[in-house]
Amino acid sequence: MLSQAEQPVPARYLRMPHAARGLTVGLFGGSFNPPHAGHALVAEIALRRLALDQLWWMVTPGNPLKSARELAPLAERVELSEKIARNPKIKVTAFEAAQHARYTADTLALVKARNPGVDFVWIMGADSLRDFHRWQRWREIVLTFPIAVIDRPGATLSFLSSVVAKTFDYARIDEGDAPLLARMPAPAWTFIHGPRSSLSSTALRKAAKDR
């Protein structure tokens, strides 16, 4: 019997989800190590406030900015994500692994090339925005798809001082216009307030270790 680390990711998760022309789709990527109710809350807020037809929950093979030592197997993180992402509009996927996409900029370029006529918006938690300027080719990401930044505990005000918020201040739209965001040309972004979960993957991993 294969160990958990050796379990392959089912083939259906390695294919990019299908989206018909004219649909609006949110792209919500992360290591989800592990996925938790806070991630599900961000996804639900994005679906509702952005008026999306679909949301792709993209489980990444790894994060170049984070240590891989504590990274659970991809198959495990995909399976756990499926259990948490209950909304039928959410499509859990790990297609980045099959494409050997290491950086978000590469993933978004691939998604754009393969889905003409589909309107995408990149979704991130406000806590990720603080270090966003450290991401590989971060300006290219901002110029590829509109971005929705979802409120997270402790990040409501600090995001305003982030490099990306200052650099692209002119492209920020009012939160009330969030349902229009996916149809807008990049650069365009908004900050969405709403219910917040204090759960974090880091804290959950630590709690599991301490048991």
Pairing of strands 147-150, 189-192: parallel
Residues with Cβ within 8 Å of residue 49, at least 6 apart in sequence: 148, 178, 179, 192, 194
The pLDDT, as a whole number, for residue 184 is 98
* Residues shown for the chain: 211
Report the percent of the chain where pLDDT is more than 70. Answer: 83
Domains of the chain: 4-210 (3.40.50.620)
Work out the average pLDDT over 78-84. 96
Neighbours of 50 (CB within 10 A): 24
Q: Listing from the earlier edge strand, what are the strands of the sheet with 90-93?
A: 90-93, 54-59, 24-30, 119-125, 147-150, 189-192
**What are the pLDDT digits (tens) for 113-171?**
999 999 999 999 888 888 899 999 999 999 999 999 998 776 556 667 789 999 999 99
- Quote the mean pLDDT of the chain: 86
**Lowest-confidence segment of 140-149, 153-162, 178-187, 193-202 by average pLDDT:** 193-202
Neighbours of 130 (CB within 10 A): 18
